[in-house]
Amino acid sequence: MHILADFARAVSEAREAKHWSQEKVAELADISTRWYQQIEKGDVSAGFEICVRVARVLELDLNQFLDRKDESGEDTVLHV
């Protein structure tokens, strides 16, 4: 399981479900459109504050990404 990849996928799906552009989400989250595009592609490791802003704008629960176990059953740590 890859937390950033899962977060990127959830962000993209939530944005598309709202029929919003990447530019609109970036503006509402107060980040650049380029930065948002990189987050949605999973290309960058965004800081926690930025993830929180994007999640709030898209009404996503970050707990679904933080409380996880890997394939071995060990807790997964999110490095921010």
For the chain, what are the domain ranges?
A: 3-66
* Comparison of pLDDT for 68 and 9, the residue scoring more: 9
Rg (alpha carbons) of the chain, rounded to whole number: 12
Phi, psi of 75 (to 5 degrees): -65, 140
Per-residue model confidence as pLDDT tens digits over 25-44: 999 999 999 999 999 998 87
Question: Average per-residue pLDDT in the chain?
Answer: 84
> Are 58 and 26 a contacting pair, CB within 8 Å?
no
Instruction: Look at domain 3-66 and name its CATH class.
Output: mainly alpha
